[in-house]
Each structure stands twice: as structure tokens, then as C-alpha cells.
Amino acid sequence: MVSSSHFAAFAALVFLMVVVPGPSVLFTVSRALTVGKRGALLTVLGNATGSYLQVVALAFGLGAIVSASTAVFTAIKLAGAAYLICLGVQAIRHRHRLSEALGAEVGTGTRRTLTVLRDGFVVGFTNPKTLAFFGAVLPQFVVPSADWVPGQVLLLGVCLPVIALVSDSLWALVASGARAWFARSPRRLALVGGTSGLVMIGLGAGLAINGRKD
């Protein structure tokens, strides 16, 4: 299906893209500081799932539509930007409640767990930069004359969520550890919540402004 050399080359490329701190790392760190370790790890899982759904969409044709349509690309970009800004505003509004929620972090209830997973999923799925990367780079590692092409895309695309799960989880653990130090002072923790909110708003604004202009 996919040769081992093609898979290794694509995995190495994805690894380089993931390990260099970017928007997903900043988002993960911000969530670790505001919702704690469990919430951050759930966010990472949701983000990886959303990213892989992009791979599924690419395998069955959405990638071609996005590449050809500025309107579709812009709609995805703005949806992701709006969601990030919304999360940032919520973080700023509730920054003074962080000290109260510190002990519980993210509740273990099903509804709360699904909410945090949803946040990560939406950000992962609506990240147009990841979709653009897949659309531009992944097809170069697919052999049209070989077996089922969508299957090759799905197999190659596994690299991103797997590598991102490991890398982003490490960032989440480090950031959540630092959160304990900030928690010694409610004022310090509120500052973290506000700063994390500003980071997410900045990410959303940057996502809305930057990108394809054609």
C-alpha cells in the first residue's frame, strides 16, 4: 500500500512540523494553565482527533475543494478563529475563578469531559494551516498507480495525530506542573488566566488575518 520509505519520510516531515512550537502548542499550554492537566490532555486528544478528521476529509475529496475554493478555505479559517477567540474571552472572564476550580480541575462528569474534548476537536478540525499542509504535502507521498489512494492518505495521515499526541501531551504536562506554582497566589493565577485568554484571542486573530489571500 504505502512503502516504508515513503511512510518514514512523511513521518519525519510531520515530526519536524509538530515539535517546533506553534499555535497548537500555545493553545495546549494555555489550556493547561487554565483548566489543568486533565483538561489539557483531553484537549490534546480532541485536537488530534479533529486533525485526523481533516485527513479523512482530504482522502475523500474535501482537500481538493478547499484547494480550489477560497470561500471554503476562508469559512473554515474564520470558524476556527472565532472559536479560539470565544475560548479566550471565556478564559479572561473567568480568570478570578481559577483558584476555586484548581482543586477539581476538569470535572470527571461525562458532560464536562465531552465539552473539553469538543473544544480541542473544533480547534483541530478547523485549523486551515494543517489542512493546507495535508493538501499540499501529503499527496506527494501517495502513489496513484498503487493500491486504493484514499487508503494511502488515511495511513499516512496517522502520523500527525500520533506524533502530536506525544509532543503536545509533554507540553501539557510541563505547563500543568508550572500551574501549581502559579496557584500559590490567587492574584498570580488570575494573571495566568487572563494571559492565557489573550494568547488564545491572539491566535484566533492571527488565524483570521493570515492565510491564503487569493
131-155 per-position pLDDT tens digit: 777 777 777 777 766 667 788 888 8
Q: How many CB atoms lie within 10 A of CB 56?
A: 13
pLDDT at position 189 is: 60
Establish if 154 belongs to a structural domain.
Answer: yes
Tell the residue number behind the cell numbers 499527496, with chain if given. Answer: 139
Q: Which residue has the higher pLDDT, 16 or 38?
A: 38
Mean per-residue pLDDT, 30-41: 82
138 found inside a domain: yes
pLDDT for position 183: 62
**Is residue 11 assigned to a domain?**
no
Q: What is the DSSP string of 100-164?
A: HHTTT-S--SHHHHHHHHHHHHHHHHT-HHHHHHHHHHGGGG--TTSS-HHHHHHHHHTHHHHHH
Confidence of residue 212 (pLDDT cuts 50, 70, 90): very low
Whole-angstrom Cα distance, residue 134 to residue 41? 24
Could you tell me the residue range of the domain that residue 157 belongs to? Answer: 23-209
Report if residue 56 sits inside a domain: yes
Let me know if residue 9 belongs to a domain.
no
The 10s digit of each residue's pLDDT in 70-114 is 676 677 677 767 877 887 787 677 665 555 544 445 555 567 788
Q: How many domains does the chain have?
A: 1
Q: Which pLDDT does position 184 carry in this prediction?
A: 64
Give a yes or no: residue 62 inside a domain. Answer: yes
